[in-house]
């Protein structure tokens, strides 16, 4: 055993290789086992993409047949490519773009950070970002836009710094506005906000503000408007008189989560709790924040131009969300490499042991809890239906115990050992939590597919203001290969309707199916009216 420990200590690349290889089973096991999260943004992405395929209109996004302008369509086009490659609308095809984005995110982090923190520093920060709690145990197995969007925004942060240091301002503006245009086509105006803040912070902090007032900058801005404008010109050509709707929706989406909507009291409350939410959602690595609380911290940060850039860009960009009461953790992914770059640098620069002791005991405690939990899995009734439960739990126990031993023996490589631990923990999550969670929502998918089968070849609508969850609409539309539209007037007397029971009072109808929606298990019916 001592020889084995000696080999790992001498050749730490073995541990890093194990971590990289574990990424694939950790991210892919049971990726498609859960139905689309029915009332979530994942369902919206899936449904909009599906409706573009069914309508054969890849310019005008729709949601349940109604024009959808809240997000430009670039991410939908990516999902469509995967749907067509797989030849189906399965959950695996929907979620693979997220996995690909995770891997690209890691590669970009390594590519840019290794120049400033060394190969090991770049690699460990990439692994830290991908194993942060919110990414590893939630967003990495959903077909959401945010990781892909964050890849482009973080790449833009790095491109701006790279060409600024080279003094290549034309390339800086052209490439950064190109990336801003790409990011805009994912999520709209937030991309422009990040671009503006980043350029102002960098050029002002480096006392080169006048460089922003130049034809080179104008060329970059023009490139942005040409690229984004091309799509909207094509869109407006297909949808006359829609310009005011585009402008309204883009601005509404960009301000709806801010204090402008929620008021001063809610904003003040959010400002106070936001740092604690960040710490919680991106644990366990946010424990590295302890290295901020020591003397000469600021002087160390400002003594290194790259670290200073990461710190300033992080602080001034995250303010946008810090003062916005309704913020989801996934909106912050592009800031994680910035934060962890600063924390890693401070950790490596630390001379006193206090921070290391806190971090070491913190991770050691988590690993012990996980090892104990792997045994407890065999006594929880919820997991009775898990195949090979005993073998899987023993495997986890063996892995956790071995990693605890390595953690105690190879102090110089504790961070990558924790990464490996978290990836094994995710594999356990894939084995036990994802199948259990799938069982709780499978019935809603089955109901939707039954409605699709029952009405296939017939007309079917959502009646008036009946709120039917987008995930169920996705399965019905996919099963029928027809868009499930909402209808408010000009009703078809021969059609089926999905309707709330209270809307049937005083009406004559034939009831074909009673089912529920996931949200509050609200009752719903499939009917045909007979009293037109």
Q: What is the pLDDT of residue 270?
A: 82
- What percent of the chain has a predicted confidence (pLDDT) above 90? 80
Q: Does position 39 have pLDDT exceeding 80, yes or no? A: no
37 vs 472: CA distance, rounded Å: 9
Using pLDDT thresholds of 50, 70 and 90, give the confidence band for residue 38: confident
- At 243-255, the pLDDT tens digits run 666 766 666 655 5
- At 110-167, the pLDDT tens digits run 999 999 999 999 999 999 999 999 999 999 999 999 999 999 999 999 999 999 999 9
Which tokens go with 4? 């084995």
| Domain ranges, ordered by start, for the chain | 258-351, 444-529
- What percent of the chain has a predicted confidence (pLDDT) above 70? 95
Q: What is the pLDDT of residue 468?
A: 83
Q: What angle do CA 367, 370, 372 make, to 5 degrees?
A: 110
Q: What is the pLDDT of residue 273?
A: 92
Q: What is the pLDDT of residue 254?
A: 56
**Residue 511 belongs to what H/E stretch?**
strand 509-516
Say if CB 486 and CB 518 are below 8 A apart. no
CA distances from 427 to 18, 371, 432, 436 (A): 14, 14, 9, 14
Q: What is the pLDDT of residue 260?
A: 56
Q: Does position 465 have pLDDT exceeding 60, yes or no? A: yes
Nearest by Cα to 280 from 337, 348, 358, 332: 332
Give buried/exposed letters for 329-363 (b at 16+ CB in 10 A, else e).
Answer: bbbbbbbbbbbbbbbbbbbebbeeeebeeebbebb
Residues recorded for the chain? 532
């Amino acid at each position: 055993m001592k020889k084995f420990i000696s080999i790992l200590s001498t050749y730490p690349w073995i541990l890093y290789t194990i971590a990289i290889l574990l990424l694939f089973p950790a991210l892919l096991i049971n990726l498609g086992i859960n139905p689309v999260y029915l009332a979530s943004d994942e369902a919206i992405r899936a449904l909009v993409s599906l409706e573009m395929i069914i309508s054969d209109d890849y310019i005008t996004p729709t949601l349940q047949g109604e024009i959808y302008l809240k997000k430009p369509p670039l991410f939908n086009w990516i999902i469509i490519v995967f749907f067509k490659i797989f030849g189906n609308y399965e959950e695996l095809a929907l979620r693979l773009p997220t996995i690909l984005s995770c891997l690209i995110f890691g590669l970009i982090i390594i590519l840019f950070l290794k120049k400033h923190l060394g190969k090991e520093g770049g690699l460990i920060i990439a692994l830290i970002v991908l194993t942060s709690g919110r990414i590893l145990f939630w967003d990495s197995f959903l077909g959401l836009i945010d990781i892909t969007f964050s890849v482009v925004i973080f790449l833009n942060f790095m491109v701006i710094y790279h060409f600024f240091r080279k003094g290549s301002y034309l390339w800086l503006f052209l490439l950064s506005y190109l990336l801003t245009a790409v990011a805009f086509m994912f999520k709209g105006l937030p991309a422009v906000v990040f671009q503006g803040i980043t350029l102002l912070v960098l050029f002002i902090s480096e006392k080169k503000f006048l460089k922003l007032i130049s034809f080179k900058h104008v060329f970059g801005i023009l490139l942005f408007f040409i690229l984004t404008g091309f799509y909207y010109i094509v869109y407006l050509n297909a949808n006359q008189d829609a310009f005011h709707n585009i402008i309204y929706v883009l601005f509404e989406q960009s301000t709806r989560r801010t204090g402008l909507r929620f008021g001063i009291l809610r904003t003040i409350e959010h400002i106070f709790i936001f740092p604690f939410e960040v710490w919680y959602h991106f644990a366990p690595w946010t424990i590295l924040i302890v290295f901020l609380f020591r003397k000469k911290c600021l002087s160390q940060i400002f003594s290194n131009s790259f670290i200073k850039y990461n710190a300033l860009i992080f602080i001034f960009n995250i303010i946008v969300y810090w003062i916005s009461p309704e913020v989801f953790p996934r909106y912050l992914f592009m800031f994680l490499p910035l934060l962890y770059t600063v924390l890693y640098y401070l950790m490596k620069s630390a001379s006193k042991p206090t921070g290391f002791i806190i971090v070491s005991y913190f991770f050691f405690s988590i690993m012990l809890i996980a090892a104990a939990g792997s045994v407890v899995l065999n006594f929880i009734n919820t997991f009775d239906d898990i195949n090979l439960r005993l073998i899987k739990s023993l495997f986890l126990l063996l892995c956790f115990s071995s990693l605890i031993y390595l953690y105690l023996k190879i102090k110089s490589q504790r961070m990558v050992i924790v990464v490996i631990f978290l990836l094994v923990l995710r594999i356990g999550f894939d084995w036990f939590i994802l199948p259990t969670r799938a069982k709780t929502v499978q019935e809603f998918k089955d109901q939707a597919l039954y409605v699709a089968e029952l009405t296939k070849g017939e007309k079917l609508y959502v009646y008036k203001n009946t709120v039917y969850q987008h995930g169920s609409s996705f399965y019905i539309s996919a099963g029928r290969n027809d868009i499930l539209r909402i209808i408010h007037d000009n009703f078809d007397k021969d059609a089926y309707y999905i309707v709330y029971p209270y809307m049937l009072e005083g009406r004559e109808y034939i009831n074909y199916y009673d089912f529920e929606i996931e949200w509050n298990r609200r009752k719903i019916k499939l009917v045909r009216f007979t009293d037109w």
